Amino acid sequence: MHQLQRMRRLVGANCLLRRCSATWRSSTKNASFSEVLQLEDKKLTGLVFPLQGLEKYLTPGVNTASFRTFNPSLDDIHRAEALFKPSSKHVIDYFSSAVRMDHAPQLSQPEVQVCFVGRSNVGKSSLIKALFSLAPEVEVRVSKTPVQGHTKKMNFFKVGKYFTLVDMPGYGYRAPQDFADMVEAYLQERRKYSLKRTFLLVDSLVGFQKADHIAIEMLKEFGIPYAVQLVLTKIDKVPKGLLVKNVLEIQDFAEKRMHGCFPQLFPVRYSSIEYSGIHLLRCFVAHVTGNFPLMNS
């Protein structure tokens, strides 16, 4: 854990300064990486690299190489966070909404986008809210109760001049039409030039459902799977044994049936109390949008 100690020393002075500044602090514990770096090693690993935190629950001999395919250093993660901190020169904000593709913002120039898709209620908006927690003035609508999650529009958020993040309406039994009208139409059009990555969210308790398989088939049909990233949500709700089983099954499926899909799963937990996996995902988004070459990994 030399890297950890080095990082702590590097950011120590910075942290003191930042504690005094309230401009981008979030009320959620450990939302900012300088807070995370104050944690003891075991807690830090579990929170920043949730997959690696699960390794102790695996039977010996299980190959965990794909747990570390994207393995940035703590320094990289810390630096990448800058993209998610607003300032007068770097504005992060809600941009517009659309219910049909012809209402979606038109691109005047090649513009980088990433989108978040998944069943209604899987946690898309919550995840985006967590990614933007250092910019708390950005309004991201999240369902108040676990059964109401249903974004009926495509919502576009601008991250300065760097990229646009799109919260897609949920698909599944409550919204079959949204899928055809928006998710499918969006992916078909934007894949051609601006869409850098599609984050497909899967609920860690239930794993892939029928609607997810339909979405995956569509992604294959459009030739998108090479740019798909699987994210496993609500990991706080699942006993560790079941979580490990689901993680291995989903990664196995991705490897065998979604050729070209990035092999590492990103488990996340978002609650108003604490995050897991969010800092790593911020770094991944910064990286895949072409805004952040990894230096120290």
Ligand X SMILES: Nc1nc2c(ncn2[C@@H]2O[C@H](COP(=O)(O)OP(=O)(O)O)[C@@H](O)[C@H]2O)c(=O)[nH]1
C-alpha span between 37 and 4 (Å, rounded): 8
Q: Is 151 in the site for ligand X (CB under 6 A)?
A: yes
Judged by beta carbon distances under 5 to 8 A according to partner kind, the member of Mg ion, ligand X, none in contact with residue 169 is: none
| Nearest distance, CB of residue 220 and Mg ion, angstroms | 25
Single out the residue of 26, 52, 97, 271 in contact with ligand X (rule: CB under 6 A): 271
Angle at 189 between CA 188 and CA 191, to 5 degrees: 75
| Nearest distance, CB of residue 9 and ligand X, angstroms | 32
> By rule CB under 6 A, what string of x and - marks binding of each residue 224-253 to ligand X?
---------xx-xx----------------
Judged by beta carbon distances under 5 to 8 A according to partner kind, the member of ligand X, Mg ion, none in contact with residue 123 is: ligand X
Judged by beta carbon distances under 5 to 8 A according to partner kind, the member of Mg ion, ligand X, none in contact with residue 233 is: ligand X
Give the interface with Mg ion as residue ranges (CB under 5 A): 124-125, 151
Q: Is 30 in the site for ligand X (CB under 6 A)?
A: no
- Of all residues in the shown chain, the one whose CB is closest to ligand X is 149
Nearer to ligand X, 171 or 262 (CB): 171
Where does residue 6 rank: exposed (0-12), middle (13-18), buried (19+ CB within 10 A)?
middle
The window from 37-45, 116-124, 246-254, 281-289 that contacts ligand X (CB under 6 A) reads: 116-124
C-alpha span between 268 and 265 (Å, rounded): 10
Single out the residue of 30, 34, 121, 264 in contact with ligand X (rule: CB under 6 A): 121
> By rule CB under 6 A, what string of x and - marks binding of each residue 154-173 to ligand X?
----------------x---
| Nearest distance, CB of residue 235 and ligand X, angstroms | 7
Single out the residue of 10, 71, 139, 146 in contact with ligand X (rule: CB under 6 A): 146
Nearer to Mg ion, 58 or 98 (CB): 98
Nearer to Mg ion, 198 or 264 (CB): 198
- C-alpha of 255 from chain center: 20
Chain contacts with ligand X (rule: CB under 6 A): 118, 120-126, 142-143, 145-146, 149-151, 170, 233-234, 236-237, 269-271
